[in-house]
Homo-oligomer: A and B are copies of this chain.
Amino acid sequence: MILRSAPASPFGRKVKMAAHIVGVIDRIKIVNADTLNAEDDLRQQNPLGKIPTLILDNGKVLYDSRVIVEYIDHLGGGGRLIPAHGDDRYDVLVMQSLADGLMDAAILQIYEMRFRAEDRREPKWIAHQAGKVDRGLAALEAHPPHLSPVSHIGTVSLACALGYLDFRFEGAWRKNHPRLVAWLDDFAARVPSFALTAPH
Spell out A's residues near B (CB within 8 Å). Answer: 36, 38, 43, 47-50, 60-64, 66-67, 70-71, 74, 85, 87, 90, 93-94, 97-98, 100-102, 105, 111, 115-116, 119-122, 124-125, 128, 131-132, 135-136, 138-139
24 contacts between A and B (CB under 8 A): A36-B128, A47-B132, A47-B138, A47-B139, A48-B98, A48-B101, A49-B131, A49-B132, A49-B135, A50-B101, A60-B87, A60-B90, A61-B94, A62-B94, A63-B97, A64-B97, A64-B101, A66-B93, A70-B90, A70-B93, A115-B124, A115-B125, A119-B120, A120-B120
A136 proximity list for chain B (CB < 8 A):
47-48
Among B36, B48, B60, B121, the residue within 8 A (CB) of A105 is B48
- What is the minimal beta-carbon distance from A119 to any residue of chain B, in angstroms? 8
A115→B62 CA distance, assembly (Å):
33
Q: Is A122 within 8 A of B128, CB to CB?
A: no
Q: Is the CB of B125 within 8 A of A116?
A: yes
Provide the bound-state CA to CA distance between A7 and B101, in Å: 22
Whole-angstrom distance between the Cβ of A37 and the nearest chain B Cβ: 12
Interface class of chain A by DSSP: helix
Contacts of A122 in B (CB 8 A): 115-116, 120
Q: Which 3 pairs from chain A and chain B are nearest by CB?
A: A47-B135, A48-B101, A47-B139
Complex Cα spacing A127 to B56, Å? 30
Q: Shortest Cβ distance from A134 into chain B, in angstroms?
A: 9
A49 to B135, CA, bound (A): 9
